[in-house]
């Protein structure tokens, strides 16, 4: 087996894959060291794709049922009482198999060596790879660390106790629970709470913060809270956990410091994730960590060791599959001296709650604090013909623009298709466009994208 490369990538998730392929395009010899049998990372096996596939199943079920109540005569939607969670996850297995083939084919076509094992640094230019107890050494001129993250599981939870799950193993649950307690009102907690709520589970979501998704625009966060309560979810916000007791394999008691008790069949801990770096022996490679245990990088994703770069969850926020892919590519471009351009200030965020949310650009809170004069324009999907046609009457598209020069500053969407719609606004912001663009442009009719024109007219009318 070859033991010397121009680049060794540690971790085969989105950041590692894209970085490896980019280096191969530069005619460099590249190897990926991946601890699992196949590359893909948590994105492919336990995170993004599995959870989003399950979400689509839940959306189809809940959406069809909702629209049947909105005037589609003769239609009704009920879930077979014999259906199992495995039945619902069948589509997930098909998606994973397909994506795994695509990743493997892409790496093979670009002559990227894939080596299964766990890598740790011996010195700044050499790693030891442990493959089922067989040790080998590999050298490289450059390294890209892309080992991802793992759930930050509180100490009061037993990792192996059946009624308590984290965000990596929740999809191994064997049935749809009647009740569930979700700890954490961040992205992962909100997404899974919505998925299981749509499947009929009674959800109680607990978070010490007083708002869900506090990094979002306040109006969008408030809209999400309204919608999830409409779904029947109970929110316990601004609450601290005192203790958790698992009284049986299907009984969890969560006690809050306020004196409340929540009883449920199972519990999901979604209280953040931490970088998966503990086995790398980064000190031997000369790589420094931040106070939060993340790998410290500069604006080009270079670590404290000049020839070692890091990308993805190991460097912290935003820790998204989409941003990780771009970070891996940009890191390798800088590594081998190829100039590249990135819109790092314009990262779109997609949150796959029900309804889904996507944002790009500035929020009202940020602009107010920065003393930037702005105005907003809002379109509600119930005003849009396409919204009426598909039964999507709860969505909102909000534009934020400069009050003087009318430059578009932010786009915030909640509702069906939000993660697709946001990219129209992203392109306009990236090119310094004004809100007038949407007024002057013609949009297909009927489409949800027409909401951009309605929101722009709403905003300009406020100025007049």
Confidence band for 39, pLDDT divided at 50, 70 and 90: confident
> Any idea what DSSP says for residue 289?
B
Cβ-based neighbours of 327, under 8 Å, separated by 6 or more = 15, 301, 311, 312, 315
Q: Looking at domain 4-46+89-151+274-335, which CATH architecture does it have?
A: 3-Layer(bba) Sandwich (3.50)
Q: Tell me what pLDDT residue 260 has.
A: 95
Cα–Cα distance list, 393 to 355, 431, 460 (Å): 11, 31, 23
Summarised one tens digit per residue, pLDDT across range 188-244 is 999 999 999 998 999 999 999 999 998 899 999 999 999 999 999 999 999 999 999
| CATH entry, 164-271, from 3.50.50.60, 3.90.1150.10, 3.40.718.10, 3.40.50.300 | 3.50.50.60
Confidence band for 36, pLDDT divided at 50, 70 and 90: confident
DSSP 292-360: TSPBP--TTSB-SSTTEEE-GGGG-TT--HHHHHHHHHHHHHHHTT------TT---EEE-SSS-EEEE
Residue 234: other Cβ atoms inside 10 A: 14
**Stretch 402-423: mean pLDDT, rounded?**
96
Cα–Cα distance list, 375 to 80, 364, 413, 456 (Å): 49, 9, 16, 10
- Rounded to whole angstroms, the Cα distance separating 407 from 354 reads 31
Summarised one tens digit per residue, pLDDT across range 334-378 is 999 998 877 667 889 999 999 999 999 999 999 999 999 999 999
**Stretch 286-295: mean pLDDT, rounded?**
93
**Stretch 74-97: mean pLDDT, rounded?**
70
Decide if pLDDT at 259 tops 70: yes
Strands of 113-210 (E only): list them. 113-116, 118-123, 126-131, 134-145, 149-151, 164-166, 179-183, 202-207
**Helix, coil or strand: residue 26:** coil
- Rounded to whole angstroms, the Cα distance separating 359 from 425 reads 9
Decide if pLDDT at 294 tops 80: yes
Boundaries of CATH 3.50.50.60 in the chain? 4-46+89-151+274-335, 164-271
Going by C-alpha positions, the residue among 126, 50, 57 that lies closest to residue 93 is 50
Q: Which residue has the higher pLDDT, 79 or 431?
A: 431
**Stretch 164-170: mean pLDDT, rounded?**
88
Going by C-alpha positions, the residue among 149, 148, 147, 153 that lies closest to residue 270 is 153
Confidence band for 314, pLDDT divided at 50, 70 and 90: very high
- Rounded to whole angstroms, the Cα distance separating 410 from 429 reads 8
- Structure-token match 């990236």, residue found: 430
Decide if pLDDT at 85 tops 60: yes
Q: 80-94, 144-158, 268-282 — which one is most confidently predicted on average?
A: 268-282
Q: Tell me what pLDDT residue 74 has.
A: 61
Confidence band for 148, pLDDT divided at 50, 70 and 90: very high
Say which CATH topology domain 355-463 has.
Enolase-like; domain 1 (3.30.390)
Confidence band for 64, pLDDT divided at 50, 70 and 90: low
Q: Is there a contact between 123 and 285 (Cβ–Cβ < 8 Å)? A: yes
Q: Tell me what pLDDT residue 392 has.
A: 85
Q: Tell me what pLDDT residue 174 has.
A: 81
Boundaries of CATH 3.30.390.30 in the chain? 355-463
173 φ, ψ (degrees, to nearest 5): -60, 145
289-308: buried (b, 16+ CB within 10 Å) or exposed (e) per residue? beeeebbebeeebbbebebb
Going by C-alpha positions, the residue among 463, 356, 344, 450 that lies closest to residue 412 is 356
Evaluated on CA atoms 241, 245, 249, 251, the torsion sign reads: negative
Q: Tell me what pLDDT residue 436 has.
A: 96
pTM: 0.90
Ranges 62-71, 168-177, 454-463: which has the least confidence: 62-71
């Amino acid at each position: 087996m070859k033991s010397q490369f121009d680049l060794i990538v540690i971790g085969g998730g989105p950041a590692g894959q894209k970085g490896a392929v980019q280096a191969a395009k530069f005619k460099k010899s590249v190897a990926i060291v991946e601890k699992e049998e196949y590359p893909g990372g948590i994105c492919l096996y336990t995170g993004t794709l599995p959870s989003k596939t399950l979400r689509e199943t839940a959306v189809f079920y809940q959406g069809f049922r909702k629209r049947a109540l909105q005037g589609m005569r003769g239609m009704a939607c009920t879930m077979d009482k014999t259906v199992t969670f495995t039945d619902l996850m069948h589509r997930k297995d098909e998606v994973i198999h397909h994506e795994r083939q695509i990743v493997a084919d892409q790496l093979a076509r670009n002559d990227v060596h894939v080596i299964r094992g766990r890598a740790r640094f011996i010195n700044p230019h050499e790693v030891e790879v442990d493959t089922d107890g067989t040790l080998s050494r590999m050298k490289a001129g450059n390294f890209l660390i892309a080992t991802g993250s793992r759930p930050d599981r509180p100490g009061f939870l037993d990792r192996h106790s059946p009624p308590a799950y984290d965000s990596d193993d929740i999809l191994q649950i064997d049935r749809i629970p009647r009740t569930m307690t979700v700890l954490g009102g961040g992205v992962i907690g909100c997404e899974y709470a919505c998925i299981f709520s749509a499947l009929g589970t009674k959800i109680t979501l607990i978070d010490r913060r007083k708002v869900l998704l506090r990094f979002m625009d306040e109006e969008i966060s408030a809209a999400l809270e309204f919608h999830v309560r409409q779904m029947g979810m109970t929110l316990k916000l601004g609450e601290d956990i005192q203790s958790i007791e698992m009284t049986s394999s299907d009984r969890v008691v969560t006690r809050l410091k306020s004196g409340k008790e929540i009883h449920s069949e199972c519990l999901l801990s979604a209280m953040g994730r931490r970088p998966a770096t503990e086995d790398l022996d980064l000190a031997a490679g000369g790589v420094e960590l931040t106070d939060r245990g993340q790998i410290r990088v500069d604006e080009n994703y270079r670590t404290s060791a000049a020839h070692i770069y890091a990308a993805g969850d190991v460097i912290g926020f935003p820790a998204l599959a989409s941003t990780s892919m771009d970070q891996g590519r940009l890191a390798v471009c800088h590594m081998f001296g190829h100039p590249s351009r990135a819109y790092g200030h314009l990262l779109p965020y997609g949150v796959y709650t029900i309804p889904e949310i996507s944002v790009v650009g500035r929020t009202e809170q940020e602009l107010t604090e920065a003393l930037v004069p702005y105005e907003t324009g809002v379109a509600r999907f119930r005003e849009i013909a396409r919204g009426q046609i598909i039964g999507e009457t709860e969505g909102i598209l909000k534009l934020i623009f400069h009050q003087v020069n009318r430059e578009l500053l932010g786009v915030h969407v909640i509702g069906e298709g939000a993660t697709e719609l946001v990219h129209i606004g992203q392109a306009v912001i990236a090119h310094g466009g004004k809100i007038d663009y949407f007024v002057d442009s013609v949009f297909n009719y009927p489409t949800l994208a027409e909401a951009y024109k309605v929101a722009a007219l709403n905003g300009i009318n406020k100025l007049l």
